[in-house]
Amino acid sequence: MRRFQHYIDGEFSDGEARYPSIDPATGAIWADMPEAREADVDRAVNAADRALYDGPWSKMTATQRGKLLYKLADLVAANAQILAELETQDTGKIIRETSAQIAYVAEYYRYYAGIADKIEGSYLPIDKPDMDVWLRREPIGVVAMVVPWNSQLFLSAVKIGPALAAGCTMVVKASEDGPAPLLEFARLVHQAGFPAGVVNIITGFGGSCGAALGRHPKVAHVAFTGGPETARHVVRNSAENLASTSLELGGKSPFIVFADADLESAANAQVAGIFAATGQSCVAGSRLIVERSVKDKFVALLREKAQAIRIGAPLDMATEVGPLATKRQQDNIGALVARSIESGARLVTGGSKIDGEGFYFPPTILDCDDVDSPSLIEEFFGPVLSVVSFETETEALMLANNTRYGLASGLFTQNLTRAHRLMKGIRAGIVWVNTYRAVSPIAPFGGFGLSGHGREGGMAAALDYTRTKTIWLRTSDDPIPDPFVMR
C-alpha cells in the first residue's frame, strides 16, 4: 500500500493521525494518508511565518524567486505522468484528462515565474513640494490555501504560482479526498530548491484541519476553492484572524444554444461541459437552455452521444467517463436525480448509479421543461444535464440568469450582434462563445454571486497576493515647521 507524508518546514513527516484513502474505481483502500490536526497546522503555519520574515526567501530578489518557479514548472512537466497517475488513482478522474491537464499545469507555474519580477510598485506625483512618495508592493503574508478533491494540482497551481511570484509563503491543505497528487507534488517543490517553510503541504479533514488553518492568527489570507456552505465556515473563521479571503465556489452554469448554431459542434461542447471529468467540474454547463425549434433534434443528438460514451476504468486511456470521486458523491447525485424525477423531470438517459464495484454514475439527461426541478437549482457536481427551452432571446437570458450562482456560461450562435448582447447580459464570471471549458494561465476566472469572489489566473491574481506599503520621504533639510499642523 502506498504511504504519503506531509511536507512541513522542508521535511517530510507523518501527521498526528492517519487515514485510509479509497480508490474510487474499486471502492478498496489503496493508500495510507497523513492527517493534520491543530498541532501539525500550527507547525506548518509557524514554518511559513519564519520563512516569510527570517529565512533566505525573505532576502531573495524577485528574479531569483522567478528562477525557482521556472525550475518547478520544468519539474511538473517532467513528472506530469506520475502525478497524473496518482490523481487518477486517488480521485477516479480519467487518465486521458489528468495527463493533459497536469502537463498544462506546468504552464501556470511558467507564467507566474515570468511575472515574479514584473510586479512593480509606483511613484506617486504627490501634492507637496518637499516629499517623495512611493508605493511598495510586498507579499500579503502567510497564505492558507484550501482546495477540493477535483483538479487539485490545477486548483493549487492557480494559488501557489501567483503567491510565490508575489513573495508569499504558504500552507496548502489538500482535500482529504484524493490528496495523493498534491502530497507527491511536495517532492517537486523540495527538488526545485525552495527554502524550508516557503511551501508547506498538508492534508486533513475540514473541521479539524481546514478550520484550524483558516483561523490561525499568523494567516493573512485564505485562498479557498470548494462549495458555498464550506465557504461560509471559512468566512466565519476569518472573523478570528481578520484574514482576507478569495472564494472560488460552485456553479450551475447555463449553456445556451440558438437554432442557428452549429449543432454538432455545440453538442460536442455540451458533452465536454457536462460529462467530462464525470461532471465534477466547477464550470460544468449543467443547465442546457435550447431554442424550442431545435430542442428535440439537439437533445436526440446529445442522447446519442451520451449513450456512446465509454465508461470504464479511469487508468485506461480509452475511458471517457470514470467513477465519481467518492461514494458520498454517488449517493448525493442519485438522490438529487430521484428528487428531480419525483418533481416531474423526465429522464432522457441514465438516471441511477451503476451497480458493481466503484462509484460509477452514467451520463444523465433530464428534460425539465415546465417543471420546477431541483436539478435546475442545486449543483450536482456530477454528470447530470437539465434541459429547458426558450422562444425568445429575452427568455433565454432570463433563464440563464435564473440562478444564485454565476461562475461560467456557454453561448452557441452564429449571430454576432446577438452574441454581443448576451455576453454583456449574462451574469457570470466567464462567457464562452461557441466553445466551452477553455482555460489559460493568461485568462482570469472566478465567479459572481454564490460562485464566490476574487479571480484566479492572469496578472491581477499575482497582485492580489501583495499589499501596498506607502513610503514618505521628506527631501527638505529645513527643520519641520509648526508641529501642530498636519501637512
Ligand X SMILES: NC(=O)C1=CN([C@@H]2O[C@H](COP(=O)(O)OP(=O)(O)OC[C@H]3O[C@@H](n4cnc5c(N)ncnc54)[C@H](O)[C@@H]3O)[C@@H](O)[C@H]2O)C=CC1
Ligand Y SMILES: CN(C=O)/C=C(\CC(=O)O)C(=O)O
Q: What is the DSSP letter of 130?
A: T
- Given ligand X, ligand Y, none, residue 210, with its beta carbon under 5 to 8 Å by kind, binds ligand X
Strand pairing category for 28-35 and 2-3:
parallel
Which lies closer to ligand Y via its Cβ, residue 44 or residue 155? 155
Name residue, grid cell 497582485: 463
Residues that bind ligand X (CB under 6 A): 146-150, 155, 173, 175-176, 205-207, 210-211, 214, 225-227, 230, 233-234, 248-251, 282, 379, 381, 407
Q: At closest approach, how far in Å is the CB of 155 from ligand Y?
A: 6
322 binds, among ligand X, ligand Y, none (CB under 5 to 8 A by kind): none
| CB-based burial, 296-332: b 16+ in 10 Å, e otherwise | eebbebbbebbeebebbbbbeeebbbbbbbbeebbeb
**Full DSSP string of 325-392:** S-HHHHHHHHHHHHHHHHTTPEEEE--SPPPSSS-----EEEE-TT---GGGTS---SSEEEEEEESS
Q: Please, which residue, 158 or 183, has the CB nearer to ligand Y?
A: 158
* SS3 assignment, position 137: strand
Of the pair 102, 407, the CB lying nearest ligand X is at: 407
Residue 328 CB, shortest distance to ligand X, in Å, is 8
Percent of the chain as helix, strand, coil, to the nearest 5: 40, 20, 35
Smallest distance from the beta carbon of 435 to ligand Y, in angstroms?
12
Our CB check for ligand X shows the closer of 97 and 379 to be 379
Under rule CB under 6 A, residue 82 binds ligand Y: no
Task: Compute φ and ψ for 188, nearest 5 degrees.
Answer: -75, -35
Which is closer to ligand X, CB of 16 or CB of 74?
Answer: 16
Residues between 399 and 458 with contacts to ligand Y, criterion CB under 6 A: 437, 439, 445
Length of the chain: 487
All cell numbers assigned to 264 = 454538432
Nearer to ligand X, 50 or 215 (CB): 215
Q: Is residue 283 involved in binding ligand Y (CB under 6 A)?
A: yes
Residue 226's binding partner out of ligand Y, ligand X, none, with CB under 5 to 8 Å set by partner kind? ligand X
Which position has the grid cell 512537466?
Answer: 77
Contact pattern for ligand Y over residues 260 through 279, marking x by CB under 6 A: -----------------x--
Q: Does an H or E element contain 397, and which?
A: helix 393-400
**CB nearer to ligand Y: pick between 245 and 253:** 253
Q: From the list 156, 245, 281, 340, which residue makes contact with ligand Y (rule: CB under 6 A)?
A: 281
Name which of ligand X, ligand Y, none residue 149 binds, using a CB cut-off of 5 to 8 Å depending on partner kind: ligand X
User: How far apart, in whole angstroms, are the C-alpha atoms of residue 131 and residue 126?
Assistant: 7
Q: How far is the CB of 437 from ligand Y (least distance, A)?
A: 5
Contact with ligand Y (CB under 6 A) among 282, 315, 345, 462: 282
Contacts of 278 by beta carbon, 8 Å cutoff, 6+ apart: 92, 93, 94, 321, 322, 323, 324, 361, 382, 383
At its nearest, how many Å lie between ligand Y and the CB of residue 381?
A: 9
Least separation, in Å, of the C-beta of 177 and ligand X? 6
* 258 binds ligand Y per the rule CB under 6 A: no
248 catalytically annotated = yes
Q: What is the secondary structure of 227-284 as a DSSP string?
A: -HHHHHHHHHHHHHH--EEEEE-----EEEE-TTS-HHHHHHHHHHHHTGGGG--TT-
- What would the x/- binding string for ligand Y be over residues 228 to 257, using CB under 6 A? ------------------------------
Residue with cell 512593480: 120
Query: Which of 87, 97, 248, 291 does the annotation list as catalytic?
Result: 248
Closest listed residue to residue 309, CA positions, set 340, 350, 281: 350
Cell of 151: 483538479
Per partner kind, with CB cut-offs from 5 to 8 A, the member of ligand Y, ligand X, none near residue 250 is ligand X
Footprint of ligand Y (CB under 6 A): 150-151, 154-155, 277, 281-283, 437, 439, 445
- Residue positions annotated with a catalytic role: 248
